[in-house]
Amino acid sequence: MRSGIPLWAILAKDLRAYYLKPPNISWGLLFPLLWAGMFFIRSGSGMESIPELLPGVIAVSILFGTTSLLSVTVTFEKKGRSFERLLLAPIRLELLMLAKTAGAILFGIANALLPMAIAAFVADLSGIRWGILAAAIVLIAVASTFLGLFIAVSVSEVFEAQTFSNFFRFPMLFLCGLFFPISVLPLWLRPVSYALPLTYGADLLHEAVQGTGVLPLPLDFGVLLVFCALLFGISLLGVRRRWIT
């Protein structure tokens, strides 16, 4: 069997059925813009503060664009039993889940490109290290998507997927060093920060946009890769244990 056909079919179906739907596109566009506007007004600075805001807006766009959408769509399909159809197809579970998550990863990356495109018009982005930025965006999108998959496997109801997503996302957002440096957090909270994947993604974004990363680049990339592998592995285990009873 040509395995490319089912994998592409799953990705194309998800893009059409979920990610390219007007409500999701508008959510993907509006949410990061609102966040950017809020921090822009809060900072009280001029256009020169845009590069400072960019890492946070990119991270928020990816995180919110991927986790809840993936966890909700997978939970929805599981609840409606259409996910069974995928489990019964002659496709290895690893490949199936990669195809299932690919749409959310692409959606997350697309969400990150929008604030960058706007920033390119209003600020000087010549100092950006594009290679690091691209790798950071892809890795954050993959880690956030796999977090969404982990959430989907852990819950049974769609509303639980939303609630559980926020349980992870909001603390992560404020503890990862995007908006407040980890050094200003109370000592007892810092280990929590370093246990979050977005901390390493945020550090990469800071380094790529402003050159202000604090951790060595190999450590950031390495830890993010480990998080991706762990979240994906645990999710696969969850699918095997909970959905193939």
Compute the CA torsion angle 60, 61, 64, 69 (nearest 10 deg). Answer: -170
69 is an interface residue for another protein by CB under 8 A: no
Binder to another protein among 92, 166, 167, 170 (CB under 8 A)? 92
2 is an interface residue for another protein by CB under 8 A: yes
Nearest to 148 by CA among 199, 73, 48, 91: 73
Binder to another protein among 84, 159, 214, 242 (CB under 8 A)? 84
Question: For another protein, which is the closer residue by CB, 21 or 42?
Answer: 21
Q: With contacts defined by CB under 8 A, name the span among 5-13, 151-159, 166-174, 231-239 that binds another protein.
A: 5-13
Question: For another protein, which is the closer residue by CB, 48 or 84?
Answer: 84
Residues 9-38 vs another protein: string with x where CB under 8 A? Answer: xx--x---x---------------------
6 is an interface residue for another protein by CB under 8 A: yes
Alpha-carbon distance 168 to 161, whole Å? Answer: 11
For every residue of 153-202, DSSP letters joined together read: HH-SSHHHHHHHHHHHHHHHHHHSSSSS-GGGS-GGGHHHHHT-HHHHHH
80 is an interface residue for another protein by CB under 8 A: yes
> Which CA distances in Å does 242 have to 43, 94, 121, 236?
47, 16, 48, 10
Query: Binding residues for another protein, how many (CB under 8 A)?
Result: 24
Alpha-carbon distance 177 to 210, whole Å? Answer: 14
8 Å CB contact between 55 and 205? yes
Nearest to 153 by CA among 87, 59, 226, 223: 87
Binder to another protein among 41, 184, 187, 244 (CB under 8 A)? 244
Query: Would you state the structure tokens that stand for residue 39, as one six-digit string?
Result: 């921090």
91 is an interface residue for another protein by CB under 8 A: yes
Binder to another protein among 36, 59, 60, 86 (CB under 8 A)? 86
79 is an interface residue for another protein by CB under 8 A: no
3 is an interface residue for another protein by CB under 8 A: yes
Name the DSSP class of 90.
S
The neighbour count for residue 119, using CB atoms within 10 Å, is 21
Q: With contacts defined by CB under 8 A, name the span among 2-10, 101-109, 149-157, 230-238 that binds another protein.
A: 2-10
Alpha-carbon distance 199 to 173, whole Å? Answer: 9
Q: With contacts defined by CB under 8 A, name the span among 34-42, 82-90, 117-125, 156-164 that binds another protein.
A: 82-90
Query: Would you state the structure tokens that stand for residue 139, as one six-digit string?
Result: 């890795």
Q: With contacts defined by CB under 8 A, name the span among 41-49, 75-83, 124-132, 187-195 that binds another protein.
A: 75-83
Q: Where does this chain bind another protein (CB under 8 A)?
A: 1-3, 5-6, 8-10, 13, 17, 80-82, 84-92, 244-245
